[in-house]
């Protein structure tokens, strides 16, 4: 007795059963599947719930960004609320998209950190979110947070973030440094 093995020619070759080769039942099954999803989602929309998995972007943002997502830049602060940045321009130098603009100021009263940024601006219309600025910073003054900047706009000149927004980040517990409490406020 010879046994004939029906062997697949390719590892992913589909082997259809008789029911599947009859074609019409599978077509009907497919239509039933899509119409079931349609009716389920329509039912959700009609009863005032959200029937979609997508996020309606500028109005809604996703809550489940990965912890290491490079969403937007933040500037860290000293205990007195001043930016940690010493305006050395290393980040602006390493930036491949050349989006960081820093204007340095001089403060003789602070002997340890006489140089500080008067202006620190990032053009998000060109930023590629590579994180090289974070790597280059010798002072741990710039980091990337997982949230995205809320910048959708019809005008690319409106897509800049300045010191005000970048210094919004005030973590309560940071293993590396002591930071001012959230209510302390900033005095620059």
The span from the CA of 109 to the CA of 111, in Å, is: 6
The H or E element spanning position 46 is helix 24-46
The Cβ of residue 121 has, within 10 Å, a number of other Cβ atoms equal to 16
Structure tokens at 127: 């930023």
Three-state SS string over 12-23 comes to CCCCCCHHHHCC
Interface with other proteins in residues 63-122 (CB under 8 A): none
Residues near other proteins (CB under 8 A), total? 16
Interacting residue with other proteins among 19, 20, 30, 153 (CB under 8 A): 30
- Using rule CB under 8 A, residue 16 touches other proteins: no
- Using rule CB under 8 A, residue 27 touches other proteins: yes
Question: Minimum distance from CB of 13 to other proteins (Å)?
Answer: 17
End-to-end CA distance of the chain: 93
Which residues have a Cβ under 8 Å from the Cβ of 90 and sit 6 or more positions away? 136, 137, 138
- Using rule CB under 8 A, residue 61 touches other proteins: no
Interacting residue with other proteins among 12, 54, 109, 187 (CB under 8 A): 54
- Using rule CB under 8 A, residue 58 touches other proteins: no
Which residues partner with 75 through β-bridges? 142
The Cβ of residue 100 has, within 10 Å, a number of other Cβ atoms equal to 20
The span from the CA of 162 to the CA of 124, in Å, is: 11
Q: Which is nearer to other proteins, 4 or 18 (CB)?
A: 18
| Interface segment toward other proteins; rule CB under 8 A; list 23-31, 99-107, 120-128, 177-185 | 23-31
| Interface segment toward other proteins; rule CB under 8 A; list 3-11, 49-57, 135-143, 158-166 | 49-57
- Using rule CB under 8 A, residue 152 touches other proteins: no
- Using rule CB under 8 A, residue 62 touches other proteins: no
Contact residues toward other proteins (CB under 8 A) are 27, 30-31, 33-35, 37-38, 41-42, 45, 51-54, 56
């Amino acid at each position: 007795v010879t046994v004939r093995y029906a062997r697949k020619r390719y590892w992913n070759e589909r082997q259809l059963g008789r029911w599947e080769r009859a074609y019409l039942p599978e077509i009907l099954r497919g239509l039933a599947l899509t119409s079931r999803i349609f009716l389920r989602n329509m039912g959700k929309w009609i009863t005032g719930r959200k029937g979609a998995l997508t996020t309606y972007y500028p109005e809604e943002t996703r809550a489940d960004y990965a912890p290491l997502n490079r969403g937007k830049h933040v500037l860290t602060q000293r205990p007195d609320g001043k930016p940690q940045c010493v305006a050395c321009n290393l980040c602006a130098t390493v930036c491949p998209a050349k989006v960081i603009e820093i204007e340095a100021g001089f403060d003789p009263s602070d002997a340890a950190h006489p140089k500080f940024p008067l202006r620190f601006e990032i053009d998000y219309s060109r930023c590629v979110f590579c994180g090289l600025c974070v790597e280059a910073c010798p002072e741990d003054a710039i980091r990337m947070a997982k949230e995205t900047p809320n910048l959708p706009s019809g005008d690319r000149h409106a897509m800049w973030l300045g010191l005000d927004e970048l210094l919004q980040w005030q973590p309560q517990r940071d293993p590396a440094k002591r930071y001012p409490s959230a209510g302390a406020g900033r005095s620059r």
